[in-house]
Structure formats: structure tokens, C-alpha cells
Amino acid sequence: MTEHFASDNYAGICPEALHWFLEANASGHQPGYGEDEWTQRVSDRLRELFQTDCDVYFVFNGTAANSLALASLCQSYHSVICTTVAHIETDECGGPEFFSNGSKLLVAEGASDAARLGKLTPDAVEQLVTKRDDIHYPKPKVVSLTQATELGTLYTVEEVRAISAIAKRRQLRVHMDGARFANAVAALGCHPSDITWRAGVDVLCFGGTKNGLPVGEAVVFFDRALSEDFAYRVKQAGQLASKMRFISAPWIGMLENDVWLRNARHANAMAQRLHERIAGVPGVRVMHPPQANAVFAFLPRPAIDTLHAQGWKFYDFIAGGGCRLMCAWDTTPEAVDAFAADIRKACGA
Ligand SMILES: *Cc1c(COP(=O)(O)O)cnc(C)c1O
């Protein structure tokens, strides 16, 4: 089997998700567009998981989840505060701006110390909100946090609360891009409700794909008033699956027996293992010890080229030329060890 460290979306479908995908297929004809029993069941499971009566929608991917969620929070003259490295800023091809008819993203430099890379700080949010209040500036309306961040760091419950407190004071909504929400919850060891609505998050884009689903993300509205007409946005954007059950049913496999957390814990542990094996290698400069499922490190350019020529796939353009070495739910210790050994050799160690 081939394994890579480029992205957790390189991994396949986990057995539990596949099982329920096949169960849904064995259930015969079912109503389309989310009116099926599977989608109802999974939505109820998510309400149980979060211990609140939230509104749940399923879309194909994270770009749509974020873009449509933000569009539902903003008018066209509003703005969304995020970091310079936020996926919504760098990797969604203007989707949030497009679907909101022009809402602007206001970027703040994330925290600069290594352990907080990629994170918004309360100060940065406060600064952006108070910078201008005239009619010529797009009115700040949302703070968007990525959990885990694009640079592999985590917001603690206290940090989310601190940012939410400012958001509340300044009448901003809080959006969480949780493409790797599972990895964050697993690493923090907190209850999923504590890092979301209990900490002031209004909408969570709960990633399933990178955690072992075939496809699909859940958009979870904790403030149900915000989801008014969301179904229409989903449909208009071409994100309403007619055979919705094949997106929703696999979530049963993830939620039953906390498979989503088990998958995430495994991916996180593999990142720890990789870190242990390469941290001391001369030429390797790890940016910060892994907090979730990726190791971020600077490697010498010739070593990167050698590793790529050997067939290892990983990104080398993240965070000012650093390499992102990403582990998935199915990354094996053997692959980690083989990769680490090749890194060591490529660095001449
Ligand atoms: C992967 C990812 C997404 C979702 O991307 P899609 O390719 O649109 O599914 C969103 N946010 C972050 C931080 C991601 O890493």
C-alpha cells in the first residue's frame, strides 16, 4: 500500500464509514434531498453529540461549507476577520466572497511565536474591528477561526472564549472552520460542545472527509436563527446531494463508538511519532512540536528534492517554505518510520 504525507485527504474511506455507506445502499429506495431516514438519524446523532438542538446540513466539501456558512452570516457590505493563512483566504478561490456577493475578508497576521502560529489573537481581532467605523469600510461581522489551524496549532477552550467575548462585545458572529475539528478535539481532550457553542461559536463546519469519510462536511448551526434559508443557499450553490444518504449515512460509522475521535487520535499519534523520529536530525528544523496531525518543518532544499524524487508526496510551500508532513487516520507506524528514515538519509544523517 502506498502512503503519503501530503494531506489527510489522500487517505481512503475508513471501514466504519464504508460499512454504513453500504448499509444505506442496502436500504432500498429512499427519498432524495435529505428527506431520507439516514440523514435524519445522523442529524439527531450530531445534536446528541453537541448536546444542543442545532441545525445540521451536509455539503460536498469544505470550501462550500465555509463559503455558504459565511454567506449566511454576512451581507455583501460586511467583512470577515481571519488570518493571512486561513483556508478561506488562501485556498477557496474567492468562494466566501463570491457566495456572499462581495463580503470582504479582513486578514490579521496570526500570532508570531511558534506555538501559536496561524492563530488569531484577541488583540488582532480588536484591532481590526476598531480600526475604522466609517461608512467607507466594510463592516466587520464575523470572526473566522480554523480549528486545528492551517499551521497545525490549536485554540484552547479559553482562547476561543476570549475571542468570542470580543466578538460578542463588537457584535460579530463566530465561525469555525473545522476541517480538522476531530484532530483538535482529540488533542485537546475537551467535549465538542465546550470548544464550540459553549465557547461562543455560532456555526461550525465539521470536516468529515479528512477524518475518513468518502466525501462530505456537516455545517452545524448552533444559533438556529442564522440558518434561515440555508437550504436554499445549499441548493443554489449546487451542493444539495439528491442521494444525500450516501453523504450522511457514513457519518453514523464515524459517530458510533467515537470512531471520529479514534481516527483523529491515531493521526495525531502518528504526527507525534514522526516528530520524535526527525526532530533531532541535523538539517531538520521543526517549527513547533505537533499539536494535531501534522509536523511542520524546514528541510534543506536538496533533501526535499531527493524525497520527492523517491516518490514521497508532501507539501513544501506552506508557511514560508516550510514542509507540511500530514498524517491521516490510516497512516501506519511503518510508513512513518520509513519516511523518517528516508528524511534522515536525505539530510545526510
Ligand atoms: C481541507 C480544508 C478545507 C476543505 O477543503 P475542500 O478541499 O474544499 O474540502 C477547509 N479548511 C481547511 C483548513 C482545510 O484544511
CA-angle at 113, arms to 112 and 114, nearest 5°:
110
Ligand 1 atom closest to the CA of 60, numbered from 1 = 9
Count: domains in the chain: 2
Looking at the structure, tell me whether residues 304 and 266 fall in a common domain: yes
Between the CA of 326 and the centroid of ligand 1 the distance, in Å, is 14
Looking at the structure, tell me whether residues 94 and 226 fall in a common domain: yes
- E strand intervals along 43-116: 55-59, 78-83, 104-108
Other beta carbons within 10 Å of 203: 32
Q: Is residue 84 part of a domain?
A: yes
How crowded is the C-beta side of 293, counted as CA atoms within 13 Å?
Answer: 31
Q: Is residue 157 part of a domain?
A: yes
Between the CA of 62 and the centroid of ligand 1 the distance, in Å, is 5
Contact in structure between 182 and 211 (CB atoms under 8 Å): yes
Contact in structure between 164 and 201 (CB atoms under 8 Å): yes
Between the CA of 26 and the centroid of ligand 1 the distance, in Å, is 31
Last residue within a domain, chosen from 215, 233, 257:
257
Q: Is residue 10 part of a domain?
A: no
Contact in structure between 347 and 300 (CB atoms under 8 Å): yes
If you average pLDDT over residues 206-220, what whole number do you get?
98
Give the residue numbers spanning the domain of 238: 15-257
Looking at the structure, tell me whether residues 285 and 270 fall in a common domain: yes
Last residue within a domain, chosen from 227, 257, 287:
257
Q: Is 63 in the pocket of ligand 1 (CB under 6 A)?
A: yes
Phi, psi at 280, each rounded to 5°: -90, 0
Per the listing, cell 491515531 goes with: 266
Q: Is 87 in the pocket of ligand 1 (CB under 6 A)?
A: yes
- Write the CATH number for 134: 3.40.640.10
- Write the CATH number for 305: 3.90.1150.10
Which mutation among 88, 147, 177, 239 tests ligand 1's pocket best, with the greatest number of atoms within 8 A of CB?
177
Ligand 1 atom closest to the CA of 61, numbered from 1 = 9
Question: Of all protein residues, whose CA lies closest to atom 1 belonging to ligand 1?
Answer: 179
Q: Is 147 in the pocket of ligand 1 (CB under 6 A)?
A: no
Q: Is residue 152 part of a domain?
A: yes
Report which of residues 319 and 334 the model is more confident about.
334
Whole-number average pLDDT of the chain? 96
* CA–CA separation, 346 and 97 (whole Å): 42
Residue-wise pLDDT tens digits, 125-135: 999 999 999 99
Looking at the structure, tell me whether residues 248 and 264 fall in a common domain: no
Looking at the structure, tell me whether residues 210 and 114 fall in a common domain: yes
Name the pLDDT band for 2 (thresholds 50, 70, 90). Answer: confident
Q: Is residue 172 part of a domain?
A: yes
Specify the pLDDT at position 320: 74
Ligand 1 atom closest to the CA of 149, numbered from 1 = 13
Looking at the structure, tell me whether residues 237 and 268 fall in a common domain: no
Specify the pLDDT at position 143: 98
Question: Of all protein residues, whose CA lies closest to atom 10 belonging to ligand 1?
Answer: 62
Residue-wise pLDDT tens digits, 230-270: 999 999 999 999 999 999 999 999 999 999 999 999 999 99
Looking at the structure, tell me whether residues 44 and 143 fall in a common domain: yes
DSSP-derived pairing of the beta strands 104-108 and 173-178: unpaired
